[in-house]
């Protein structure tokens, strides 16, 4: 099968998986918000923060090196398979021992049991991680998508059932374990078709061929980036309490969900495809700009609608009890849009083998972003949200100058023009919906009318503002052997 066919099929399956699993996760939160109180959502946010941080150390960042390196031996893959399992056990033991200190830090003794149970996933996930990496390398996203959907569905039904049985916060904890078990079993079933682990080790070649250096920079970059992305969770839980964290985290989850659905459809495929054209800078530039343009056209109107319709969205999804989350949803929608624009640069960095650049960038971010969030915390939750948002807007220009231009030679006007037009169209649509939408008390009508006006205006002016060539080029990347289409 050609790269063209693989890339197109991969995009199709990642689209299905991203939409299905993200909607399932959102529905899970919507249902559980009726059964679990705000403080419990805050506790789970802290537990998932700890678990997510630990997951970065699972394979020392080497899995992505397998995708980047086009020639990998079976001995190297075997070595990494057993490394994953060893690291998983080590992480579980470390977390088990350290949870009392984490609970003391947050003054929440309930965290001991929650984190210990949740961290048991590290005794499960490593057995499937190397299979997942190999499936990604081969662009076999059909198997991965089926795994994702079945795993998330099992977790969803388990959490809802346990919530009805009054398990409280443990409905989420046990559902997380069930989801990990089902997903890993499916990865093993699919993965054994292409790789069967053996006790065959080759540490020397991993070191001599740069796997460890690539992986360590990748691991360092992910660790620092994770602290950057979750520092608000860390700070709010400590300074403002678990209930405040629960209110904030509901808004953050809803705000971040759209780009977490949309971006992986493109970026999961983009990394292995861009890696295959990494030496042709012209193709790489055109491909990257089209990826960025496509994602911004998709995300910008969604976030315009989220800012405009935050009140009916919160009430309809989570109920009247969560109306305190409304202003945070509006602010964090801007943060999420910035994230959606900056997110594809990760695929570009990895495709060019420059995980070290990402590490240095995130170290720099770690020096400034927590400071902005901490200063904002003096004005409460809204201050935290504004501090995070203003910082994300401010770093867009340096990110282009330090990464995008050096790696693919996309010029200033080309880069910002590719994101500026869809954002401007979304802003015009927002203004039209704001002034044309009638005032109604029914939240369903308010949401429906607002979406209809904003969406209609965006489509109409979008058609007028773009030509046939530009519209055709948006999807050309994935149907022409990873090459960019004609530029507008």
| Mean pLDDT (the chain, rounded) | 82
Task: Determine the Cα–Cα distance for residues 352 and 284; give it in Å rounded to an integer.
Answer: 10
Task: Determine the Cα–Cα distance for residues 33 and 135; give it in Å rounded to an integer.
Answer: 35
Tally of CB atoms within 10 A around 355: 24
- Residue of 434, 412, 411, 427 lying closest to 465 (CA atoms): 427
Q: What is the pLDDT of residues 261-287, one digit of tens each?
A: 888 777 777 777 777 777 777 888 888
Task: Determine the Cα–Cα distance for residues 414 and 400; give it in Å rounded to an integer.
Answer: 11
The predicted structure's pLDDT at residue 9 = 61
Give yes or no for residue 349 having a pLDDT over 60.
Answer: yes
Cα separation values, 413 from 416, 419, 421, Å: 5, 10, 11
The predicted structure's pLDDT at residue 158 = 92
Categorise residue 61: left if φ over 0, alpha if ψ from -120 to 50, beta otherwise.
left
Is there a contact between 299 and 258 (Cβ–Cβ < 8 Å)? Answer: yes
Buried-exposed string 435-462: b where 16+ CB fall within 10 A, e elsewhere: eebeeeeebeebbebbbebbbebbeebb
Tally of CB atoms within 10 A around 104: 12
Q: What angle do CA 231, 233, 234 make, to 5 degrees?
A: 65
Q: What is the pLDDT of residues 111-129, one digit of tens each?
A: 899 889 988 988 898 888 8
Is there a contact between 111 and 103 (Cβ–Cβ < 8 Å)? Answer: yes
Task: Determine the Cα–Cα distance for residues 157 and 28; give it in Å rounded to an integer.
Answer: 8
Task: Determine the Cα–Cα distance for residues 199 and 242; give it in Å rounded to an integer.
Answer: 46
The predicted structure's pLDDT at residue 370 = 83
The predicted structure's pLDDT at residue 479 = 47
Q: What is the mean pLDDT of residues 425-439?
A: 91
Which structure tokens are listed for 190?
Answer: 């699919």
Q: What percent of the chain has pLDDT over 70?
A: 84
> What are the helix (H) ranges across 138-191?
141-164, 170-191
Task: Determine the Cα–Cα distance for residues 294 and 478; give it in Å rounded to an integer.
Answer: 11
Cα separation values, 246 from 146, 173, 210, 322, 328, Å: 31, 16, 42, 10, 12
Q: Higher pLDDT residue, 3 or 131? A: 131
Task: Determine the Cα–Cα distance for residues 31 and 67; give it in Å rounded to an integer.
Answer: 38
Q: Higher pLDDT residue, 403 or 280? A: 403
pLDDT band per the 50, 70, 90 thresholds, residue 255: very high
Is there a contact between 407 and 426 (Cβ–Cβ < 8 Å)? Answer: no
Q: What percent of the chain has pLDDT over 90?
A: 21
Give yes or no for residue 201 having a pLDDT over 80.
Answer: no
How far, in whole angstroms, is CA 230 from its chain's centroid?
Answer: 12
Q: What is the mean pLDDT of residues 173-201?
A: 87
Cα separation values, 183 from 128, 153, 193, 346, 352, Å: 8, 10, 16, 25, 30
The predicted structure's pLDDT at residue 6 = 59
Q: What is the pLDDT of residues 303-344, one digit of tens each?
A: 999 999 999 999 988 888 889 999 999 999 999 999 999 888
Tokens 């984190």 correspond to 115
Q: What is the pLDDT of residues 441-475, one digit of tens each?
A: 788 888 899 999 999 999 999 888 776 666 565 55
Q: What is the pLDDT of residues 24-77, one digit of tens each?
A: 877 888 888 888 888 888 888 888 787 777 666 665 666 666 666 657 777 777
């Amino acid at each position: 099968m050609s790269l063209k066919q693989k890339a197109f099929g991969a995009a199709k399956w990642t689209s299905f998986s991203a939409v299905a699993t993200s909607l399932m996760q959102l529905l899970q939160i919507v249902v559980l918000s009726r059964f679990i109180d705000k403080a419990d959502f805050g506790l789970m946010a802290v537990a998932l923060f700890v678990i997510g941080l630990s997951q970065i150390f699972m394979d020392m960042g080497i899995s992505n090196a397998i995708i980047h390196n086009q020639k990998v031996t079976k001995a190297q893959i075997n070595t990494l398979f057993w490394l994953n399992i060893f690291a998983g056990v080590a992480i579980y033991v470390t977390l088990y021992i350290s949870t009392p200190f984490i609970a003391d830090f947050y003054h929440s003794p309930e965290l001991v049991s929650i984190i210990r149970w949740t961290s048991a996933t590290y005794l499960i996930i490593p057995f499937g991680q190397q299979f997942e990496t190999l499936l990604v390398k081969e662009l076999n996203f059909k198997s991965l998508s089926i795994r994702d959907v079945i795993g998330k569905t099992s977790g969803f039904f388990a959490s809802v059932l346990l919530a009805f049985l009054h398990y409280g916060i443990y409905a989420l904890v046990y559902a997380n374990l069930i989801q990990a078990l089902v997903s890993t079993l499916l990865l093993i079933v699919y993965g054994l078709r292409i790789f069967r682990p053996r006790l065959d080790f080759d540490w020397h070649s991993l070191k001599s061929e740069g796997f460890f250096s690539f992986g360590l920079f990748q691991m360092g970059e992910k660790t620092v980036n994770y602290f950057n992305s979750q520092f608000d969770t860390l700070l709010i839980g400590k300074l403002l309490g678990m209930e405040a964290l629960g209110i904030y985290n509901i808004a953050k989850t809803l705000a971040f969900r759209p780009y977490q659905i949309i971006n992986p459809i493109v970026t999961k495929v983009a990394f292995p495809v861009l890696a295959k054209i990494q030496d042709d800078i012209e193709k790489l530039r055109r491909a990257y700009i089209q990826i960025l343009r496509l994602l911004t056209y998709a995300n910008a109107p969604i976030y315009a609608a989220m800012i405009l319709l935050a009140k009916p969205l919160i009430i309809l999804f989570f109920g009247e009890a969560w109306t305190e989350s409304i202003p945070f949803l509006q602010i964090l929608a801007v943060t999420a849009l910035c994230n959606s624009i900056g997110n594809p640069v990760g695929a570009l960095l990895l495709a060019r083998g420059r995980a070290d650049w990402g590490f240095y960038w995130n170290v720099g971010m770690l020096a400034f972003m927590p400071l902005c969030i901490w200063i904002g915390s003096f004005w409460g939750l809204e201050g935290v949200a504004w501090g995070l948002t203003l910082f994300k807007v401010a770093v867009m220009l340096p990110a282009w100058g330090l990464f995008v231009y050096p790696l693919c030679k996309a010029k200033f006007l080309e880069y910002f023009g590719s994101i500026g037009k869809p954002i401007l169209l979304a802003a015009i649509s927002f203004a039209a919906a704001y002034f044309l939408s009638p005032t109604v008390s029914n939240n369903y009508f308010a949401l429906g009318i607002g979406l209809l006006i904003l969406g209609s205006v965006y489509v109409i002016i979008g058609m007028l503002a773009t030509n046939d060539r530009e519209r055709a080029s948006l999807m050309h990347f994935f149907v022409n052997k990873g090459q960019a289409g004609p530029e507008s």
